[in-house]
Amino acid sequence: MTEQELKTVVLATARAMNAAGINRGAAGNVSTRHEDGFLITPTGMGYDACVADDVVFVGLDGRVAGRRNPSSEWRFHRDIYATRPQAGAIVHAHSPFAVSLACMNCEIPPFHYMVARFGGNDVRCAEYATFGSQALSDAVLNALIGRSACLMAHHGMVVFGGDLPEALALAVEFETLCEQYWRVRQIGDPQLLDDEEMARVLEKFASYGRQD
C-alpha cells in the first residue's frame, strides 16, 4: 500500500473504533507501522473532521512529517514499534469497560479462557503516569511484556495486532472481555482457570484461525 492509502486506512480504522462504541470523540488514537516509523492520527481532532492528509508520520527516531501534530501518545506507539517486531498496528481507546477496570487498578485474571488471546494468563494494568509522558510509555511497555494488550490505570487500554484490521478486531474483543469481567464482578469473585488449563489454551491459540 502507498503511504497515502495507508493514511486513509488509519483514519477509517479510527472512525470504525468510534462506530464500534469502544471510543468517543477525539480521545484514543490509531497507528500503523510504515517504513522506519509509523503513521498516526493527529492530536485533538475529531476523526470525522479529519482527512487522510491529517494523519502524521513519526519516525522511530522521533522525527515528524506532516501538516498536523501527532497524537499526544505518540511515545508509546513509537516504543511499542521499536521493541515489538510483531506489532504492525496499534489501537488506544478510552473504552468504557476497560476504563472502569483501569480506574480500579484492576488486572484481568484468567476468569475466561479468552484472556489467553492477549498472550498470557492475565492482562496487566500499566501504572498511572500523566498522558503523553515518557513515564506512561515506560509503564505501558512494562505491562505489555509477553502480551498484546494492557489496561492503563485511570486512563484506558492499548492493543496491538499485525495490521490495522487485526488491531481493531482485538481492541473490540478486549473491550468485550473487560465488559464480561466487569459483569462477573457484579455477582462476586469468579473461580479462575488454573495455569495448566491456560497453558493448553495458549498452545491452541498459537495455531487458532489458520486456514492452511
Backbone φ and ψ for 187, nearest 5 degrees, come out as -85, -35
Catalytic residue among 73, 107, 179, 196: 73
Least CB distance from residue 127 to Zn ion, whole Å? 15
- Contact assessment for residue 7 and residue 55, using Cβ atoms and an 8 Å cutoff: yes
Nearest CA-CA partner of 164 in 9, 1, 22:
9
| Residue whose CB is less far from Zn ion, 20 or 114 | 20
Least CB distance from residue 6 to Zn ion, whole Å? 22
At a CB cut-off of 8 Å and minimum separation 6, what does 210 contact? Answer: none
Q: What is the length of the chain?
A: 212
Least CB distance from residue 140 to Zn ion, whole Å? 11
Q: Is 175 a catalytic residue?
A: no
| Residue whose CB is less far from Zn ion, 102 or 170 | 102
Q: Which residue is nearest to Zn ion (CB)?
A: 156
Q: How far apart are CA 142 and CA 136, in angstroms?
A: 10
Alpha helix (H) residue ranges in the chain: 3-19, 74-83, 96-102, 134-143, 164-187, 195-207
Q: In what order do the strands lie in the sheet with 149-152?
A: 64-65, 56-59, 37-40, 29-34, 89-93, 156-161, 149-152, 125-126
Candidates 47-55, 105-113, 117-125, 148-156: pick the segment binding Zn ion (CB under 5 A): 148-156
Least CB distance from residue 5 to Zn ion, whole Å? 26
| Residue whose CB is less far from Zn ion, 42 or 156 | 156
- Residues tagged active-site: 73
Give the residues lining the site for Zn ion (CB under 5 A): 156
